[in-house]
Amino acid sequence: MKIGRSNINPTKIICLGRNYLDHIKETNAPIPTEPVFFVKTLNTLITDNKPIIYPKLLYENQAFNKVDHEVELAFIIFQTCKNISSRFAYDYIQGYTIFLDITARKMQISDRNIKLPWYRSKNFDTFGPIGPEIIPCIDIDDPHNLNIQLKVNGTLRQKSNTKHMLFKIPEILEYISKYVTLKRGDIIATGTPSGIGSIIPGDVIEASIEKIGTIIHQVLLEED
């Protein structure tokens, strides 16, 4: 796939949950003592302002008709790695980009409440917008001091700074690589700050991170 001017061939998308304290508080979740990660599937990925498709399965079902936005800083793996020390983390990172972890929230909560995996709520087609470019590490001195925000229809919903991440990028890469061999092009999303909220068909999402840029995606209802 192509992100801006860069071609990557990811084998997986790994996302961190509960990595901003303000987001932990707004979801009434316990503060983790180590990184919490889950996987999104490649069918979620979209680029170049393509629309986010709101599934009819969710829209027409009162039990599931809540879909949320979550803006995140992501980094792209540069070369295959396993059991990486945090001291050498940046040797394995190609650069940074914006990622949206779109989530079917009611479905996620329902699945959690009955002790089922919440895999399906994260992995509908188009639920992983990414872009607009991969900015090389050399062009961002400190990825832990970037303003991050998201607007829906021009109204600010999320606004924070990556300095508020609970687990920093070297620690994240060291932890994940203990369990998973990472390949060139793999995507690691570092979690979302507070302000998550619902989106509906017709909305326009504008997500921005300092020194990286902005992605804009319209939300469309799935067609028959």
In tens, the pLDDT along 128-146 reads: 999 999 999 999 999 999 9
pTM surpassing 0.85?
yes
What pLDDT does residue 26 have? 84
Q: What is the pLDDT of residue 103?
A: 98
**According to DSSP H, which parts of 7-87 are helical?**
21-26, 56-59
DSSP string, 74-109: EEEE-S-BSS--GGGGGGGEEEEEEEE--EEHHHHH
Omega before 132 within 30 of 0, i.e. cis: yes
pLDDT at residue 214, rounded to an integer: 98
Distance in angstroms (rounded) separating the CA atoms of residues 217 and 130: 10
Q: Which pLDDT score is estimated for 13?
A: 98
Domain residues for the domain of 83 are 2-221
pLDDT of residue 33: 95
Dump pLDDT digits (tens) for 185-197. 999 999 999 999 9
Residue pair 33/115 in contact by the 8 Å Cβ criterion: no
Bigger pLDDT: 29 or 152? 152
Q: What is the pLDDT of residues 16-60, one digit of tens each?
A: 999 998 888 888 889 999 999 999 999 999 999 999 999 999 999
List residues bridging with 89 in a β-sheet. Answer: none
CB-based contact 97:76 (threshold 8 Å):
yes
The predicted structure's pLDDT at residue 27:
84
- DSSP letter for 143, please: T
Q: CATH no. for residue 31? A: 3.90.850.10
Q: Are 219 and 52 in contact (CB under 8 A)?
A: yes
If you average pLDDT over residues 105-109, what whole number do you get? 96
Residue tagged 């409440």 (tokens): 113
Please state, in angstroms and rounded to a whole number, the distance separating the CA atoms of residues 129 and 49.
8
Q: Would you give the DSSP letter of residue 164?
A: G
What H or E segment, with its residue span, contains residue 157? strand 155-161
Percent of the chain with pLDDT over 70: 100
pLDDT (0 to 100) of residue 68: 98
Pair of tokens at residue 146: 């970037």
What domain count does the chain have?
1
Q: What is the pLDDT of residue 61?
A: 97
Provide the sign of the torsion angle of the four alpha carbons 192, 189, 3, 139, taken in this order.
positive
Which pLDDT score is estimated for 119?
Answer: 94
| Cα–Cα distance for residue pair 39/47, rounded to 1 Å | 19
Instruction: Give tens-digit pLDDT for 159-176.
Output: 999 999 999 999 999 999
Name the phi and psi angles at 102, rounded to 5. -80, 135
Question: Under DSSP, is residue 60 helix (H, G, I), strand (E, B) or coil?
Answer: coil
For residue 178, which phi and psi values (nearest 5 degrees)? -70, -30
- pLDDT value for 122: 98
